[in-house]
Amino acid sequence: MKLKLARTTLKSKPKTIELTKVEEELANKSIFYFDKDNSHKELKALIEYFEEKGFSVYMREVKYGLDENEYIYEVHIIA
């Protein structure tokens, strides 16, 4: 499954990352930021995938502006 990482600038397009790559990066970090263009179904699948592997997963929306469409998803994946 491919997920879109949070944009680094307002005009840029989000980069994609494979679920297996997220799992590999867990050795170095536990917080990931995903773009608002990801569907709720995709993020739910991400959470279920890691919970089945024994991880604790916490997700929340982070607003970075006054417009209601200016947000990203912050996901904590903890062993």
Q: What is the DSSP string of the chain?
A: -EEEBPPSSSSSPPPEEEHHHHHHHTTT-SEEEE-TTS-HHHHHHHHHHHHHTT-EEEEEEEE-SSSTT-EEEEEEEE-
In a domain, residue 47? The reply is yes
- The tokens for 68 are 């209601």
In a domain, residue 49? The reply is yes
What mean pLDDT comes out for the span 63-75? Answer: 92
Q: Count of domains in the chain?
A: 1
In a domain, residue 67? The reply is yes
Which range among 9-13, 15-19, 20-24, 74-78 shows the weakest confidence by mean pLDDT?
A: 9-13
Could you tell me the residue range of the domain that residue 38 belongs to? 2-8+28-78
In a domain, residue 54? The reply is yes
- Residue 22 CB: number of other CB atoms within 10 A? 20
Residue 14 pLDDT exceeds 90? yes
Mean pLDDT score of the chain, rounded to an integer?
94
